[in-house]
Structure 1
Amino acid sequence: MARKTGSHSQITGPKVRAAAQSLFARKGFAAVSMRQIAAEVGVQAGALYLYTPDKQTLLLDLMETHLTELLAGWEDSDPKGDAQDRLEAFVRFHIRFNLDRADAVFIAYMELRNLTDENFAKVEALRGRYEDMLEDILRDGQRAGRFDIPDTKLATLAVIAMLTGVNTWFREGGRLSRDMVENVYWDMVRKAVATT
């Protein structure tokens, strides 16, 4: 019996992805077997192959989905116009978007080493598109004399790393609210790129 009674692809497929994401984030991709994912979902191991050809494809799917949603989310949020307004919007968007997706963010950054070369190239292209969006904002601010940045690529990587780091320490109900975190991080980024 390959499929659990009452199981449907539109129900079980997302459960497989959610279970894999949770397990990969908690234990690491290399330590998780297809059998463990199946047990988490409540299906036989062989049934997983109805939803994904292998564990590598599942990892790629999780990363691509996260990055595609990130790109689409920013494109919908981008206020256009003034570089400083756009940079503030980017900072706030990045924090807000990623805090709701801690497992996906962890996997997208920490499991790159487990991708095949071909899959790494696909994920790297998506990451590059997102980085380019921020770098365009920084370049626009530099050209307008609003930002003093000696290297926009380096500044892009530094800002993204700083913003993504929020996921490592932020806890809901902790000392700082989400709004406070956004405000403090925006102030730090603003000061880091401002003209003197």
Structure 2
Amino acid sequence: MLTQFANGEADLLVGTQMLTKGLDLPQVTLVGVVAADGLLHLSDYRASERAFQTLTQVAGRAGRGDDPGRVIVQTYTPEDPVIAAVCTHDYQSFCQTELEKRRDLDYPPYGRLILLRLSSLDPIQVQNKAQIIAANLGNNEDFEILGPAPAGVMRVANRYRWQILLKFNPDELPQLPNWDEIRELCCDGVSLTIDVDPMNIL
């Protein structure tokens, strides 16, 4: 399909985020983004970063040839700082605002994270085990516990997912739990993955 489009056999190409990267088609002069707000409100501290990156990349598909390009972004929140920064190509303003938010909330690069993700075919079982593990972690001054809570994408491949997030100071090595003991709290039907410095917390 991409070859046909590049050869001029089609005037319109509709696709997902896979179209944001690697396409150098000089005949493309108009790019439209439908429902851009869906990128902004994901339950991941990097949602704004990813939205800015994706929208900037897809905008770069237009006007790569001799003819000027135009980008139309559909949004219910045009005043959102991410949308505004994309529209004005203001990378510095976006970075400053984003870093201030992360500093206030102790998210990377101002804090470190460990993500405990549990999954099971049984929604009640995985919820119970997540609550037991969170209670077992207890009140620890070395790190902050967020959760347990359903994962941002609660069900994948018929498995229900819950997660616990640990936050701690990047300059200090906290007294972390004994992971073998934590794993022993899970039963055969519940799997546990431990992700240090996770790139995605959905």
Larger Rg: 2
More strand by share: 2
Task: Give your verdict on TM over 0.5.
Answer: no
TM-score range, shorter chain: under 0.3
Q: Given the two structures, how large is their TM-score scaled by the length of structure 1? A: 0.25
More helix by share: 1
